[in-house]
């Protein structure tokens, strides 16, 4: 940085330009959604931990997904609520980059976990006789650890490149959180390398996984059609359809934001996409798995039944 440049020490999140009454209304609404996110994913974690019938690889990965969703929401929603109450409240430079780093870790990890979950479903439906051998607990733990580790390393690459940039001018982040592309726009240097890395990582954790999931579900669909019993087909369909719903909701917005064509000024559209991605996705995931999955619903009924006085 040159001698005439002043280092930025804090940022101001612009958020959504709304009236005070609308901001207060959204604060109440988003607070309720946040509470449901924590409650729903907490219930999923509790059920999987307490119910021995859910001690299987599929629900182990579901517990990892619920953990990521809780962490994801805790990293993004509280700052959003603060901005709705105090729009002029700044966030420190270190705090902003920390939020960016954690956001990237959890987003990358969830991308990879969804691929692992699709592989688990592929083995369960297409190779049922070898399922317990292939998806041993050692393999499951290795896949989960690998997802978290790779998610951390990919986020670290972004952060190292981001920290090499000087920030000396504007302080207004045109977003409701410290999203990577919004922060990059405030750098006082060429960000071409950062943008290339964003697209490359996006291809790795978005396009690659989606392609793998599509291929695996093509094999699953053919295998389901060969199942003779209606109950067996329904069980395979219910577990796989829950996962497919989550995949569609999760991968859609990031692909549009980071891989899609960047024409005009789509920043406002991206804000709403990321709002859906960071607020509604973590809340909807436990609902999808509990409503469309008989085993989770049955485990919940068993837990509620035990809690009732005889």
Q: For residues 137-156, give the mean pLDDT.
A: 96
Cα(293)–Cα(297) distance, integer angstroms:
6
- On average, the pLDDT of the chain sits at 85
Q: Give residue 160's pLDDT band: very low, low, confident or very high (50, 70, 90).
A: very high
How far is it, in rounded angstroms, from Cα 194 to Cα 203? 14
* Residue 88 confidence class, pLDDT cut points 50, 70, 90: confident
Lowest pLDDT segment from 5-14, 72-81, 124-133, 275-284: 5-14
Do the Cβ atoms of 73 and 166 come closer than 8 Å?
A: no
pLDDT value at residue 310: 46
Q: Examine the pLDDT at 267 and tell me if it is beyond 80.
A: no
Residues with Cβ within 8 Å of 237's Cβ and at least 6 positions away in sequence, in order, are 224
Residues in CB range of 244: below 8 A, 6 or more apart? 217
pLDDT score, position 307: 55
Q: Quick one: pLDDT band at residue 84, thresholds 50, 70, 90?
A: confident
Rounded Cα–Cα distance for residues 99 and 80 (Å): 12
- pLDDT at residue 148 in the model: 97
| Mean pLDDT in residue range 19-34 | 91
- Using the predicted structure, report yes or no on whether residue 50 has a pLDDT greater than 80: yes
For position 3, what pLDDT does the model report?
43
User: Are 69 and 281 contacting, i.e. CB atoms less than 8 angstroms apart?
Assistant: yes
Least confident of 192-206, 229-243, 281-295: 229-243
pLDDT for position 39: 93
Q: Looking at the predicted structure, is the pLDDT value of residue 187 above 60? A: yes
Which band of pLDDT confidence, cut at 50, 70 and 90, is reported for residue 168? confident
Residue 105: pLDDT band (50, 70, 90) is very high
Higher pLDDT, 192 or 19: 192
Strand 10-13 versus strand 91-92 pairing type = antiparallel
Average pLDDT over residues 123-143: 92
C-alpha span between 8 and 23 (Å, rounded) = 28
The radius of gyration of the chain's CA atoms, rounded to the nearest angstrom, is: 21
The answer, yes or no, to whether residue 2 has pLDDT greater than 50, is no
Bridge-partner residues for 173, per DSSP? 13
Mean pLDDT of 126-143: 93
Q: What residue segments make up the domains of the chain, in order of their start?
A: 11-304
Which one is predicted more confidently, 8 or 194? 194
Instruction: Give the model's confidence band at 145: pLDDT under 50 very low, under 70 low, under 90 confident, else very high.
Output: very high
Superfamily of domain 11-304: Rhodopsin 7-helix transmembrane proteins (1.20.1070.10)
Average pLDDT over residues 2-12: 66
According to the model, what pLDDT value does residue 252 have?
A: 78
Residues facing residue 1 across a β-bridge: none
């Amino acid at each position: 940085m040159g001698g005439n440049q002043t280092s930025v020490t804090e940022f101001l999140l612009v958020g959504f330009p709304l009236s005070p009454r609308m901001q207060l209304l959204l604060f109440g609404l988003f607070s309720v959604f946040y509470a449901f996110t924590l409650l729903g994913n907490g219930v999923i974690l509790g059920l999987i931990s307490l119910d021995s019938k859910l001690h299987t690889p599929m629900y182990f990965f579901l517990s990892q997904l619920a953990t990521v969703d809780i962490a994801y929401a805790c990293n993004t929603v509280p700052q959003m609520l603060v901005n709705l109450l105090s729009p002029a409240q700044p966030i420190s430079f270190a705090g902003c980059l920390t939020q960016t780093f954690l956001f990237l870790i959890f987003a990358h990890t969830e991308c990879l976990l969804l691929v692992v979950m699709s592989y688990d479903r592929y083995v369960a439906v297409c190779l049922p006789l070898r399922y317990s051998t292939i998806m041993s607990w050692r393999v499951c733990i290795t896949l989960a650890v690998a997802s978290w580790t790779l998610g951390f390393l990919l986020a670290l690459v972004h952060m190292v490149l981001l920290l090499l940039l000087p920030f000396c001018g504007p302080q207004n982040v045109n977003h409701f959180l410290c999203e990577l592309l919004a922060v990059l726009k405030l750098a006082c240097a060429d960000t071409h390398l950062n943008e290339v890395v964003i697209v490359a990582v996006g291809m790795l954790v978005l396009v690659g996984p989606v392609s793998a999931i599509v291929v695996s579900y093509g094999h699953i669909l053919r295998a389901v059609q060969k199942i003779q019993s209606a109950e067996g087909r329904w069980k395979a369909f219910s577990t796989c359809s829950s996962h497919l719903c989550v995949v569609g909701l999760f991968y859609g917005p990031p692909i549009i934001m980071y891989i899609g064509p960047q024409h005009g000024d789509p920043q406002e559209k991206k804000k709403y996409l990321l709002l859906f991605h960071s607020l509604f996705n973590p809340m909807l995931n436990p609902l999808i798995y509990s409503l469309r999955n008989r085993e989770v619903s049955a485990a919940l009924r068993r837990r509620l039944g035990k809690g009732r006085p005889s």
